[in-house]
A and B are shown apart, each in its own frame.
Chain A
Amino acid sequence: MDATTRVVTTLILVIALIGVTIFTQFARRRRAAFPLRAIPAYQAIPLLVGEAIESARPVHVSFGGVGIGGLSTALALASAEVVYQTARRAAIGVDAPIITGSDPTFLPLAYATLYRAYGSRGRADRAPSTAVRWYPSLQRTGGLAFAAALTGTIGSEQVSGNILLGSYGAELALILDTASRGGRRSVAGSDQLIGQAVAYGMATSPLIGEEMFVGGAYLGDEAGTLAVATTIDLLRWLLIGGLAGSIGFVVAARLLGAA
């Protein structure tokens, strides 16, 4: 890592830390001071869970290829927050949500999240251990075995709807195709660009880019998750400002040089 990258990284980390700390304190006191823009996918999730409870069918939530310990750890934690909020809502129903993933490191996180969600409703003993499912897949074939397993699960378990947040490639098309043929709603987002494009075109409610990381702020009512959403917005605006400033500086330098 060269010196410039190190300085910029440290600067971003410091801004993020200050942002998260300060915004958490502010959000605890005045939650209304942090309005969130509407994201249709997060508006759809409570409806999707409600439909599942009424029809006594499970909701399917998938981590995709994300897990703990790699580059996708942060996305795994963000997905776990959505799993928590979904399972917490679904805990009052008959069927527990089905939680799937292809990276084995997602398992401890998924189990802990499921039991915590059911525990928050005082029903920790009702959380079935078979609700969390690992479908291994070969890395070199890009998660196709995982996609095939999910298409089977969606059909055989008669899931009510799908929430697919994680790392997916083009194989996401197979899962979403199966979902749409069965008339099931799906919320989907991926940290891979190909998966992102497929989700945008085929999911009922897609999530784009950083929207995947703010599920806790939209589905829950915690100050910390709200602070994350606000800090991401702050950093994004700083980045836009920085880019615009750089472009302005280069243009001005060229104009002055030409003069």
Chain B
Amino acid sequence: MWSRRACWVRRDARNKGLNDVGRLWRILATAIAISFGLVTLAGLLIGDGLFNQVAGLFLQLAAVTIGLTILIGLLNLYTVHLNRLLQRGRGSLYSLVMLASAALVIGLWLTNQDESNMILLESVQVALESALAGLVLFALVYGAYRFMRGGVTLSGLLFTAVLLIVLLGTLPGDHVIAQVRNWVLAVPVSAGQRGILLGIALATVVTGVRVLAGQDRNYRE
């Protein structure tokens, strides 16, 4: 019994030691991230001098690191679709097509057949996506219909009125509705756009400051 208890004590001590090491690594990583962030911010704010050069170097390093995430992405793509194919789940045919396409593109790249790769890109993917872009219009029209079908609300009425004004205002000629459309787009729509963008900008700043202050969850856990 005593030997079992001693074993527990040793295991607890070992876990505690591992936790302490983990905590130290987290603190070190947080300190590095905050230091890099502050130096980059100072470099961008000051505009020239040593700080700016160092900030530029950090940004280049970040770009290289971001480039490496493509490899993680490819690994993820293959893992997810191979898994689905092996499990023969729903949509496994799509996964098979995806894996075959990816293998073909990588094979063409490895054999330096960039022209064939470009043909695949321009003739297949861009063409398919262009066709899909046509479908977006129908989805939008259906969405507008659903929005108006949901019941009469103030926002619904406003949406419908603005939609009609904008659509009728695009008819040829310098009529009253065209002038109203121009005013709607220049004043209330523009004001709304700026309001939304200002809100997003302020929230971006505050979230960034929280990261620089080391309060983000990624630092703590």
The CA of A136 and the CA of B129, in the complex, are separated in Å by 13
A to B CB contacts below 8 Å, 29 in the list? A1-B45, A6-B47, A12-B202, A20-B215, A21-B213, A74-B205, A74-B208, A75-B204, A77-B216, A81-B217, A107-B72, A107-B73, A133-B76, A138-B126, A144-B132, A144-B133, A152-B94, A157-B90, A157-B91, A158-B90, A174-B136, A177-B139, A180-B146, A210-B200, A210-B202, A212-B200, A224-B215, A236-B199, A239-B202
With A145-B129, A209-B200, A236-B202: A77-B207 Cβ-Cβ less than 8 Å:
yes
Q: Which residues of A contact B90 (CB under 8 A)?
A: 156-158
Asked if A132 lies at the interface with its beta carbon under 8 angstroms from chain B, I say yes
Task: Check A78 against B199 for contact (C-beta < 8 Å).
Answer: no
B65 touching A69, Cβ below 8 Å: yes
Residues of B within 8 A of A13 (CB): 41, 205, 209
User: Do the beta carbons of A1 and B47 come within 8 Å of each other?
Assistant: yes
A144 contacts B129, C-beta separation under 8 Å: yes
Residue B154, interface by CB 8 Å: no
Return chain B residues, CB-CB under 8 Å to A138.
125-126, 129
What is the 8 Å Cβ interface bit string for chain B, positions 14-58, against chain A (1 contact, 0 not)?
000000000000000000000000000100110100000000000
CB neighbors of A among B180-202 (8 A)? 193, 195-200, 202
List chain A residues, Cβ under 8 A from B8.
Answer: none
Residue total for B at the interface (Cβ-Cβ under 8 A): 63
Instruction: Point out the residue from A20, A171, A214, A236 that lies within 8 Å of B209, measured CB to CB.
Output: A20
Q: A114-142 interface mask toward B, CB cutoff 8 Å, 1 = contact, 0 = none?
A: 00100110000000011011101010011
Q: Which of B41, B197, B198 has a CB less than 8 Å from the CB of A193?
A: B197
B1 within 8 A of A: no
In the assembled complex, the Cα of A142 lies from the Cα of B133 at a distance in Å of 9
Q: Evaluate contact between B132 and A148: CB separation under 8 angstroms.
A: yes
- The answer to whether A173 touches B133 (Cβ under 8 A) is no
B174 in the interface, Cβ–Cβ < 8 Å? no
Q: A144-B136, A193-B197 are in contact. List 8 more A-B contacts (CB 8 A).
A: A17-B213, A69-B62, A77-B216, A130-B80, A157-B91, A210-B203, A224-B215, A231-B206
